[in-house]
Chain A
Amino acid sequence: MAEKPKAKDGTLRALVREVLAMAPGYGLTDEMLCRAVRELLPVNSADDSAILTAAEWNLGKDFVSTAENEDTDEREWRITHHGLAKQSLK
């Protein structure tokens, strides 16, 4: 059986921004972010590590930011102003 095509890095990077831009000001944990991005992709076309790698790339470009939630000890991802501006250029 032919392997399903994997989502491209560029696609994942854009989807990470798109998901976070849906609720600016609020953070998504790793699990929430990965689950949301997978909803926008064909089934089994990306695993969590690929999605988080895309998120890390966006972090390096200052399109997204992270912060640790003191109550849950979980990392939360948020879109930055730079990331919102990037989305508005589409």
Chain B
Amino acid sequence: MAKRKKAKPDWDAAPRKTHANAKVKNLPEADQETLWLLLHPTDKETPPCTLEAAMVHLQEEFGVECALSTFSEWHSWYSLKKRMEKAASRAQQATLEFAQDHPDATPDDLEKYGQMIFTAESIEHGDAKTFTALVRERSRRMALELDRRKLVLLEAAAAEAKAKLAAITQKAKSKGGLTAETLAEIEEAAGLL
């Protein structure tokens, strides 16, 4: 039997109802933040609203009606979103500071560092203390590794300069003294240091 093709949508038909959960999630960020602050006031003297009271505000101020379960789902979602965004923001800030302190860090180093900070900041439950100590230790090791790389480069530059100066000295001795040309070569070699 031939497969029946799906009927094309009737564009004149009644528009699809927006999912109840999406109504709250699609509110402007400022409005969602207002609801959040009602439930979690930053001012310690202001008591937090209950979900039911916040729902009244949602209906009166933003004209959105939904079930308590839907609003509770939004609350869980927004809470997670805030934590993730905060962790990402802290990681970005820490990476910028690390880059300023370690200009030799490669993009790969910075990405690894940022990820490490993000993971640490994302931990809400569990042994955060141990993980923080681990982050500090890894951060210290990364900084040491960058210093070690810098030292290797400096040592290589010093060895090259030393070899050049030795060659110049030998040449000066054979020619019977310093010429203007030899002086210029010495300056160039010294510039390597």
Residues of A at the B interface (CB closer than 8 Å) are: 18-19, 22-23, 25-29, 32, 35-36, 39-40, 69-72, 76, 90
How long is the Cα–Cα vector from A69 to B113 in the complex, in angstroms? Answer: 11
B114 contacts A26, C-beta separation under 8 Å: yes
Chain A residues, Cβ within 8 Å of B116? 71
- Considering the complex, give the chain B residue whose CB is closest to the CB of A36: B80
How long is the Cα–Cα vector from A36 to B119 in the complex, in angstroms? Answer: 13
Q: Is the C-beta of B81 less than 8 angstroms from some C-beta in chain A?
A: yes
Pick the contact of B115: A35, A36, A39, A69 (CB < 8 A). A69
Pick the contact of B112: A29, A35, A40, A71 (CB < 8 A). A71
- Considering the complex, give the chain B residue whose CB is closest to the CB of A72: B119
State the majority secondary structure of interface residues on A: loop
A22 contacts B80, C-beta separation under 8 Å: yes
State the majority secondary structure of interface residues on B: helix
- Tell me how far the C-beta of B32 lies from the nearest C-beta in chain A, rounded to whole angstroms: 14
**Given A71-B112, A71-B138, A23:B118 Cβ within 8 A:** yes
A22 contacts B73, C-beta separation under 8 Å: no
Offer 22 A-B interface pairs, CB within 8 angstroms, sorted by A: A18-B77, A19-B80, A22-B85, A23-B84, A23-B88, A23-B118, A25-B88, A26-B88, A26-B114, A26-B115, A26-B118, A27-B115, A27-B119, A29-B119, A35-B125, A36-B80, A36-B84, A40-B73, A40-B77, A71-B116, A76-B115, A90-B22
How long is the Cα–Cα vector from A35 to B76 in the complex, in angstroms? Answer: 12
**Given A22-B85, A71-B112, A39:B119 Cβ within 8 A:** no
A26 contacts B138, C-beta separation under 8 Å: no
How long is the Cα–Cα vector from A31 to B77 in the complex, in angstroms? Answer: 18
Chain B residues, Cβ within 8 Å of A27? 115, 118-119
- Considering the complex, give the chain A residue whose CB is closest to the CB of B138: A71
Name the interface residues of B89-106: CB closer than 8 Å to any CB of A.
Answer: 91
- Considering the complex, give the chain A residue whose CB is closest to the CB of B19: A90
